[in-house]
């Protein structure tokens, strides 16, 4: 089985300062890459995961490592972290970890239509109880709404042009798959788009994932709730992958109402070795918040 390569693993564990017998919440369990290391160090973990398939994979992996004894896996959204923690007697914890975004498995093989590596229905919902799919947004928002969504959630400078092309294309034929959408965007992007470093549809797909899964609101709701669960002196370790998530993190640390303070002035980023080994670590930023009151 091929698993997601955990990003900033060493840095996350160092900052969580895992203690034998300590209780930790992994708010984004994924393939349990971080959780397994916490369990190996003698911590107990409550893992929260929104994608049922991912939770099944993680449970199986943890079982294979013989580490199930101190692990509880819950299907849920981290925006409900406090309730989930209270229900599972994890209301006074030594650390909470967030490794945001999606696992490689979800992005490349998950069948969610999250990326354009494969032609899949434009769904993007990790949680199927959410009402609106990416297909709904692409085919029903006005040109202006689409342009705003793409720009606001990804800083895509060609948002207006892409929105216009999407509306034109959908008037001829409904846009229902990832490759259909990627092609529409590519057909109107400039040849030198980002000097070829990324596909022209990359940022639009990011914007759609954020909108469909309500990523920003989930994080804004979750962080103060996680802070309530921390024992004095313990920490939230948060790994973000795009500037909007990182802004929520920074604001959380600076808010006067916050019961935490950010420990480092600047976020921790991947080492040269990690950057070489795993391109997904390029945009990762790790911030640490310590409980102060
Ligand atoms: C980058 S992966 C985590 C990888 C994990 N740290 C590892 O090393 O295997 C992020 C995970 O968070 C999950 N996720 C995203 N949003 C979530 C939310 N609101 N609540 C709970 N899980 C969420 C995704 O389904 C994905 O499995």
Q: What is the mean pLDDT of residues 141-167?
A: 97
Q: What is the mean pLDDT of residues 265-284?
A: 94
35 lines ligand 1 (CB under 6 A): no
Binning the chain into helix, strand and coil, the percentages to the nearest 5 are 50, 15, 35
Q: At residue 109, does pLDDT exceed 90? A: no
Pocket test for ligand 1, best of 126, 127, 216, 245 (most atoms within 8 A of CB): 126
Q: Give the CA angle between residues 147, 150, 152 to the nearest 5°.
A: 100
E runs forming strands in the chain:
23-26, 44-49, 71-75, 93-99, 230-240, 260-262, 285-291
31 lines ligand 1 (CB under 6 A): yes
Q: What is the mean pLDDT of residues 91-111?
A: 92
Atom of ligand 1 nearest to the CA of 26: 6
pTM, to two decimals: 0.96
Distance 167 CA to ligand 1 centre (A): 32
For domain 131-213, is the CATH number 1.10.150.170?
yes
The span from the CA of 141 to the CA of 137, in Å, is 6
What is the SS3 assignment for 127?
coil
State residue 197's pLDDT score.
87
29 versus 292: which is more confidently predicted?
A: 29
Q: At residue 135, does pLDDT exceed 90? A: yes
For ligand 1, atom 12, name the residue with the nearest CA.
28
Which residues of the chain are in CATH 3.40.50.150 domains? 9-105+215-291
Q: Give the CA angle between residues 150, 156, 159 to the nearest 5°.
A: 55
Q: Across the strands, what pairs with 289?
A: 236, 262
State residue 210's pLDDT score.
97
Please state the CATH superfamily assignment of the domain spanning residues 9-105+215-291 in this structure: Vaccinia Virus protein VP39 (3.40.50.150)
């Amino acid at each position: 089985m091929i698993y997601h390569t955990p990003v900033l693993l060493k840095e996350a564990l160092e900052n969580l300062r895992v203690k034998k017998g300590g209780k930790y919440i992994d708010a984004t369990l994924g393939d349990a890459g971080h959780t397994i290391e916490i369990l190996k160090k003698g911590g107990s973990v409550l893992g929260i995961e929104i994608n049922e398939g991912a939770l099944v994979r993680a449970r199986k992996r943890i079982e294979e490592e013989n580490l199930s004894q101190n692990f509880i896996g819950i299907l849920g959204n981290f925006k409900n972290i406090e309730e989930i923690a209270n229900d599972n007697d994890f209301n006074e914890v030594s650390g909470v970890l967030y490794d945001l975004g999606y696992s490689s498995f979800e992005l490349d093989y998950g069948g969610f239509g999250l990326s354009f590596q494969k032609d899949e229905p434009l769904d993007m919902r990790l949680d199927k109880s959410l009402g609106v799919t990416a297909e709904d947004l692409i085919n029903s928002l006005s040109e202006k709404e689409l342009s705003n969504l793409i720009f606001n959630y990804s800083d895509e400078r060609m948002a207006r042009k892409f929105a216009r092309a999407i509306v034109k294309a959908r008037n001829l034929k409904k846009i229902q798959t990832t490759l259909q959408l990627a092609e529409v965007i590519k057909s109107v992007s400039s040849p030198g788009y980002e000097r070829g470093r990324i596909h022209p549809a990359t940022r639009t797909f990011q914007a759609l994932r954020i909108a469909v899964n309500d990523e920003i609101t989930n994080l804004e709701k979750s962080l103060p709730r996680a802070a309530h669960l921390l024992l004095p002196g313990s920490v939230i370790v948060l790994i973000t992958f795009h500037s909007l998530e990182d802004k929520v993190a920074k604001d959380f640390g600076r808010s006067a109402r916050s019961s935490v303070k950010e420990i480092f002035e600047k976020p921790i980023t991947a080492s040269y070795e990690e950057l070489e080994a795993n391109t997904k670590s390029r945009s990762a930023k790790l911030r640490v918040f310590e409980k102060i009151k």
